[in-house]
Amino acid sequence: MNKMVKKSEVVSLATGLTRPSRDEAEAAVRTLIRWAGDDPDREGLLGTPDRVVRSYEEFFRGYDEDPSEMLQRTFEEVEGYDEVVVLRDIRLESHCEHHMVPIIGKVHVGYLPDKRVVGISKLARVVDAFAFRLQIQEKLTAQIANTLQEVLQPRGVAVVIEAAHQCMTTRGVHKSDVAMVTSRMLGAFRDNGETRREFLTMIGRTSV
């Protein structure tokens, strides 16, 4: 039986989980500052808990967005256009779910329409809706591709992500200039080598 949610409680759209209050979130930041070895009451840090919580609202706003809803408005008046549609070099800003540090890179999205297309800004918004959550790149790649396939029902979807993970570049092994590449090919992009090569050529790659 589901718990009753109080009016004052904020629930995540993506997970259905009830969020702590803002005061509780700020208290958690103060605890982390003390754990790091500093004084949250000194002048330079007095406003930090509030700023961190406001930053988190921006970094993780994807938990309050529905990617499927973003794709509901489509267009059928395309004069018979049935070739690949590609939006490349979409800036990616996400956070690693293991260390909560940034993942920065770019996303390339392609699909092969079947009678209807969607506004290209919606493709970028779907990327952001999933990216502005705690993520691993493999899951993010699959979520974007699967959602486009399920909602638009095109003849195929292709997603490639190239990104640097600060959990690897600023901590741990400290390896800079390393990019992780992931891909998900569905429908025609998986089954037809020529269609897949066309997409890869359009995003400036020969393989993934």
Catalytic residues: 96-99, 137, 165, 167
List of residues 6+ apart from 89 with CB closer than 8 A: 106, 108, 203
Alpha-carbon span 38 to 176, nearest angstrom: 29
Q: Characterise 70 by phi-psi region: left (phi > 0), alpha (psi -120 to 50), beta (else).
A: alpha
Structure tokens that stand for 127 in this block: 């990327």
175 DSSP 8-state letter: -
Within 13 Å, how many C-alpha atoms sit on residue 146's CB side?
7
Buried b (16+ CB within 10 A) or exposed e, 2-14: eeeeeeeeeeeeb
- The three-state secondary structure class of 109 is strand
Q: Are 12 and 64 in contact (CB under 8 A)?
A: yes
Note the residue count of the chain.
Answer: 208
